[in-house]
Amino acid sequence: MTPSGFRAFGGWDIIAPGRIRSKSDRAVDTRDGRLVPNFLKTPMHEAAEAADRLDVTRGRTWRGQVETGVFFLLYYLYVWLVIDPRLIHHTIGILTPYHAVSFSTGAAFFQPFASRPGGLVEYVARLLSPFFCFGWVGALIVTTLAWTTCRGVDVLTGRAGRPRGMVIRYGPAVLLLVLFGKYGHPLQILLSLLVGLACFALYLRIAARGAGQAAAALAVLGLAAYYVGGAASLLFAVLVAIDSVLIRRQTLMGLAALLVGLAMPWLVGGVLLHLPLGRTYAESFLVPAPELALWNWRYALALYLYFPAVLAGAALPRAVLARRSARPRPPASSVADSTRAARGAQSFWRGASGWSMKLAGVCLAAGAIARLMLHTDGMEAFRCDYYCQHQRWAEALASAAKMPEHSYDSRHNRNLMLALYHTGRLGDEMFRYPQAPGVVEYDMLEGKDSHTYFQESRFFLELGLVNEAEKCAHEAFALEGDMPAMLQHLAVINLVKHRPETARVFLNALRRKPFHRRAAESLLRRLDEDPHFESDPRVRHLRRCMAVEDRAFLIVNYEAALLRLLEQNSDNRMAFELLLAHYLCIARPDKVAENLRHLARFGYRRIPRHFQEAALLHAVGRGEPLPAGELQLAPETLAGAKAFFEILKQTPDRDRAFQEAVGAGLGDSYFFYYRFGKSGL
């Protein structure tokens, strides 16, 4: 007789090998598989059962710790090495307005946040933001917060009677990868969510003591969630309502929780703090700081909805089965169907079996989703901009080489031209990258895009147009806020213009920014010793290059601006090279050939490649002899010209000639750009 067919005798039932069920519905587990009725159990048998349960618990705990550790180790490396938190910090002021995350030390800055709902969470988010400038620290912050959301899911599933270690615990961490991979800045959103989860976990502990304690905890924690986290109060109220209705079966308590969530903003924000009604409810019922989420608001909303969905999804099947068990017994077919449904639900929520395969599947799925949603094109553009702002020009060019052509715009083309100039490769490699015929994309005259003002100001200052640099810097300051780099930049502008006291104001503000105090105090000490910075080589160079009355002619003509700078300071190499680059872009090789005589004055030992190609085009077009003298054309330039003109001669079809020239390796030459209006091929 099989064990499954052996029915009750002697006070116990056999239900599986090595497991019995007593008539009082109590199971007895044995180590050796022998059947032991309850009345024959000894302390030795009880110790064996306890040891079995301890072994199972230890096994699950060990597997869970290894699984979590491996997942979040890979998670940390992905955030640090792929997403790169330095770029998240750099996009503040480009994608995210800086005034929304600005942080300064001191009690005066902290006080406004402590006096309004949601202010404490916002303060902590602002405090953590500067740490993203260190990639490994930013990755640690993101990973820690992601692990906390994972633990929050464990609390919810455990409350619903489900085992820990289920796949769904990693869902919020993957959503965070998507949010940070879009280079948003969702710290305030995430911290507000965690406040709601923490209040709910505390509520569960207190509510277990009785109905009175539960009601008091609901009111106190609802107030704390609203005052500390703002939007966290709504999440807390929804979780309490789901717990009360589906798990505790206390519908009135669930309605009370929703009422607390609705009334708390009006009571605290409107009645006590006298805040506008729209503001009180916006901060409680919408995802906090929507300007930080940018186009990622839908992912932030999904993150908020994830936790109520997990709690409801985990508790609902048991609530349905409990209701069915309270009804009269249905027909046998219905019982079988409900049993199969229960088994299906259990297998869906199960998390203990196949843990190694589950770990591999979770890591692969998370990596695939994060990579698919990663802002890849923007990532390279932000990296190039980051390297340019930190004057790491060679690395900026390496990032520019990875950017697809469709991701180029005026901002990134400006960065490219500056990086080429500072590496001495402007005249040799300019057309290795996309250029727009007839359009000076690195022209900084109009400043139509607000997020480019700071970039334009840095360019103008270096070029010598100090007045325009100051104008653009103040525009950026008004629009974005007191960015540390902006404060230091404004201090340098005022030093160049002999205004040391104004520079001191900006340096004192810079002192209150995290990680900039030492640099600001060093500049302040130098300012005390040398008020006009006469000994500073950079300030002296900028004063020599500084144009007088630059604002009057700058808007009229870019070429005239560069020529005026060269008239004032004939050694302004940057103005000279950008002038020749301008002539190349607008297809004026005659102007390039005309200015080749100035190369020796700037220390050129040879003619850069594109200048040679322009001079050759000009000479061939006019039937003149090639440039002679000390600066000769390189043999490879002559060979390239011969190959290009041979292709044009033998291939009258424009499209076919285009393809053959690219195949011959001439797609990055000025010949190709001059004939087809394309580059970067």
> What angle (nearest 5°) sits at the alpha carbon of residue 284, between those of residues 283 and 287?
70
* pLDDT score of 12: 39
End-to-end C-alpha distance for the chain, whole angstroms = 80
Higher-pLDDT residue of 348, 169? 169
| Angstrom distance (rounded) from CA 266 to CA 226 | 11
pLDDT tens for residues 548-582? 655 544 445 678 878 888 888 888 888 899 899 98
Higher-pLDDT residue of 141, 680? 141
Length of the chain: 681
Model confidence at 68: pLDDT above 90 = no
CA distances from 255 to 233, 246, 250 (A): 15, 12, 9
Tell me the two tokens of residue 55. 């072994």
* Under 8 Å between Cβ of 363 and 70: yes
* pLDDT score of 54: 46
Least confident of 69-73, 447-451, 508-512, 677-681: 447-451
Q: How confident is the model at residue 289 (pLDDT cuts 50, 70, 90)?
A: low
CA distances from 467 to 451, 477, 498, 564 (A): 19, 15, 13, 14
> What angle (nearest 5°) sits at the alpha carbon of residue 317, between those of residues 315 and 318?
70
Q: In which element (H, E) is residue 56 found?
A: helix 43-78
* pLDDT score of 510: 94
Q: What is the mean pLDDT of residues 211-234?
A: 88
| Angstrom distance (rounded) from CA 280 to CA 257 | 18
* pLDDT score of 356: 57
pLDDT tens for residues 357-368? 566 666 776 677
Model confidence at 245: pLDDT above 60 = yes
CA distances from 608 to 429, 435, 585, 638, 675 (A): 9, 18, 15, 13, 20
CB atoms within 10 A of CB 260: 23
Q: How confident is the model at residue 33 (pLDDT cuts 50, 70, 90)?
A: very low
- With b for 16 or more beta-carbon neighbours within 10 A and e for fewer, the 658-675 pattern comes to bebbeeeebbbbbbbbbb
pLDDT tens for residues 313-347? 888 877 666 666 655 555 544 444 545 554 554 44
Would you give the DSSP letter of residue 343?
Answer: H
| Angstrom distance (rounded) from CA 57 to CA 167 | 19
Give the residue carrying structure tokens 């995210």. 96
Helix axes 107-114, 119-128, angle to 10 degrees: 140
pLDDT tens for residues 435-444? 766 555 445 4
Q: How confident is the model at residue 635 (pLDDT cuts 50, 70, 90)?
A: confident
β-pair partners for 92: 96
pLDDT tens for residues 469-480? 898 899 889 888
Tell me the two tokens of residue 677. 């209006």
Walk across the sheet containing 27-29 and list its strands: 12-16, 19-22, 27-29
| Angstrom distance (rounded) from CA 58 to CA 425 | 63
* pLDDT score of 327: 56
* pLDDT score of 238: 92
- Mean per-residue pLDDT over the chain, rounded: 78
pLDDT tens for residues 520-538? 999 999 999 888 888 888 8
CA distances from 363 to 70, 84, 358, 457 (A): 9, 19, 9, 44
CB atoms within 10 A of CB 330: 12
* pLDDT score of 624: 63
For residue 74, which of 189, 178, 177 has the smallest C-alpha distance?
A: 177
Higher-pLDDT residue of 143, 50? 143
β-pair partners for 609: none
Q: Phi-psi region for residue 230, left (φ > 0), alpha (ψ -120 to 50) or beta?
A: left
| Angstrom distance (rounded) from CA 381 to CA 527 | 37
Q: What is the per-residue DSSP string for 138-185?
A: HHHHHHHHHHHHHHHHHHHHHHTTPPSS-GGGGHHHHHHHHHHHTT--
Top mean-pLDDT range of 201-215, 348-362, 545-559, 628-642: 201-215
* Under 8 Å between Cβ of 101 and 133: no
Tell me the two tokens of residue 274. 């006298």
| Angstrom distance (rounded) from CA 644 to CA 669 | 10
* pLDDT score of 13: 39
* Under 8 Å between Cβ of 396 and 382: no
Tell me the two tokens of residue 314. 């985990």
pLDDT tens for residues 93-123? 888 888 888 999 989 999 999 888 888 999 9
> Taken in order 434, 440, 444, 446, is the CA torsion positive or negative?
negative
Q: What is the mean pLDDT of residues 595-605?
A: 85
For 241, counting Cβ atoms within 10 Å of its Cβ (0-12 exposed, 13-18 middle, 19+ buried), the class is buried
| Angstrom distance (rounded) from CA 145 to CA 369 | 19
Percent of the chain with pLDDT over 90: 22
* Under 8 Å between Cβ of 642 and 625: no
* pLDDT score of 255: 92
Q: Model's pTM, two decimal places?
A: 0.80
Q: How confident is the model at residue 21 (pLDDT cuts 50, 70, 90)?
A: very low
pLDDT tens for residues 298-312? 888 888 899 999 999
Least confident of 51-60, 148-157, 293-302, 460-469: 51-60
* pLDDT score of 61: 67
Percent of the chain with pLDDT over 70: 73
CB atoms within 10 A of CB 160: 22
Which residues, 6+ apart, have CB-to-CB distance to 660 below 8 Å? Answer: 647, 651
Q: How confident is the model at residue 4 (pLDDT cuts 50, 70, 90)?
A: very low
Q: What is the mean pLDDT of residues 377-400?
A: 87
pLDDT tens for residues 139-185? 999 999 999 999 999 899 888 887 766 778 888 998 898 888 888 88
Q: What is the per-residue DSSP string for 403-445?
A: S-GGG--HHHHHHHHHHHHHTT-HHHHGGGS---TT--TT--S
| Angstrom distance (rounded) from CA 320 to CA 322 | 5
What are the domain boundaries of the chain? 3-41, 53-325+355-371, 375-423, 555-676
Model confidence at 446: pLDDT above 80 = no
Top mean-pLDDT range of 66-80, 122-136, 627-641: 122-136
Task: Give the three-class secondary structure for 608.
Answer: coil
Task: Give the three-class secondary structure for 21.
Answer: strand
Q: How confident is the model at residue 294 (pLDDT cuts 50, 70, 90)?
A: low
